[in-house]
Structure 1
Amino acid sequence: MAEAIQEQQVKKLKRLLEGWRMALLPLKSVFLWEQQWHPCAIFASVSIFFLTIWLMDLNTLASLAVVGLTLNFVDFIIPIVCNTVCGPTSWTGQKEKMFEDICRSIVMSYNKTLDQVKSFYSMRENSPSLYYIISISMLCILAWMASTINNIFLLYIFSTVVLLWPGIQQQGIFKTLTSLIYKMPKIAQKTE
């Protein structure tokens, strides 16, 4: 049952991203850091974009409007450029399979995130005290960060992390860091 729903989601996403399919294939290799320079390219692109917003010296709402306008422009222009540069004859079965794999991984990540959010909200019924402790703590930290750190800088950090995250997972960097964290208390206990 869950697989049938997932397949429907994949088909729906494929239809939604139809105009982006030629752009998604090279983007996948960039986001998964298949070349050593890919993380630098991601970081530089995000930095240049947010440096431009910072130099325009807009308030937060205007900056969000500029980000939205840029995303809408990219969403409009990419399918046109892809269809002009690469005709329909260049689309092969292998590329279609890669496109379907990309859509499937997006759907799986979306469903995994949705399941984690649902499990967090299920804590409200199962363990309300823990739920409220975590919720109130996180919201206080978020409010403190938003009041002390520039909002555009926070958006810059968030955007950079989100765009680098697939490569971080693919390269196993996050797993390595978490395994080092788990080993630290054991090393400290052995020395005592």
Structure 2
Amino acid sequence: MAEMDDMSRARTEEEQGVFGLRAVKRDLEQYREILLPLNKVLEWEKPQYPAILIGIITFVFAIIWYLEPSVLTTFSLIGIVVSMVDFVVPLVSSYILGSKEWTVVEERQFENICNRLLNAYNHILNLRVTLTNMKKEKPKVYAMVLMAGFAVLAWFGSLIDNLLLTYIMVVFAVLVPGLRKHGILQKFTKMAKDVIMRLIKKPQKKGSKSKVN
């Protein structure tokens, strides 16, 4: 019975993944001609792409720093740009790129992009489920983890200017696909895990020696 339950659960998760991928592909289908070249830039297919990305972001933030718009004005301008992109991109894609034949290779690349977006969304959902379970099973640990995390963020935010902190966060978020594609992010993540494991194991070794003595 347990094996049957595991099989049915796995089959359900697989079906949910397939339907989720279909939904993402359907929602992004009108942007697919733009997503492929954008994905190449984000994944650093050419060595000059990281410098171009950082240069564009730096230019935008330099304009914001120079003009010093209010928060409401900034969000309004972002909304205008997003609305224009949402209107113009499908229109341009249908008129200019509509006659181009969509190949199997491009379809596979588009599906990989949708898969990564779906995986990122699932990671966020898993984090939410983990926090919810921790709140139910270990409420004290949950409260301590949240308060400690927000306290560190508040302390770090008080040391850096808001615009500079936003700039660093945006640059990091834009560079993440390239860092991940070239294995740099995995390398630093592994190094951080090794350091944490060493810090955890050192007190245990000292405690075991004191018990033997």
Scaled by the length of structure 1, the TM-score of the pair is 0.85
Taking the aligned partners of 2:138 and 2:93, their CA distance within structure 1 comes to 50
Tell me the CA shift for residue 143 of structure 1: 3.4
Query: Structure 2: how far apart are the matches of 1:126 and 1:63?
Result: 42
* Partner in structure 2 of residue 66 of structure 1: 77
Q: Which runs of 5+ in 1 are unaligned?
A: none
Q: Secondary structure at the match of 1:34?
A: coil
Could you tell me how far 1:106 is from its partner in structure 2? 1.1
CA RMSD of aligned residues (A): 2.3
Tell me the alpha carbon deviations over residues 102-151 of structure 1, each in whole angstroms, 9 at most, x when there is no partner: 11221122112221232123211222222111211222233344455433
Q: Which runs of 5+ in 2 are unaligned?
A: 1-11, 203-213
Deviates further, 35-44 or 137-146: 137-146
Task: Report what 1:151 is aligned to.
Answer: 162
Equivalent residue for 1:38, pick from 40, 44, 49: 49
| TM-score with structure 2 setting the length | 0.77
- Identify the structure with bigger relative contact order (alpha carbons < 8 Å, sequence gap 6+): 1
Aligned residues with identical type, % of pairs:
28
Q: 1:120 to 1:96 in 2, by over 3 A?
A: same
1:69-125 Cα deviation digits (max 9, x unpaired)? 222222222222222321244322322222122112211221122212321232112
Structure 1 residues 141 and 114, CA gap change in structure 2 (3 angstroms): same
Asked if the contact 1:60/1:152 (under 8 Å) is kept, the reply is no
Return the alpha-carbon distance in structure 2 between the equivalents of residues 142 and 73 of structure 1. Answer: 34
Any runs of at least 4 consecutive aligned residues in structure 1 with deviations exceeding 6 A, and if so which? none
The correspondence for 1:12, drawn from 23, 40, 48, is 23
Among candidates 102, 108, 116, match of residue 97 of structure 1: 108
The match for 2:34 is: 23
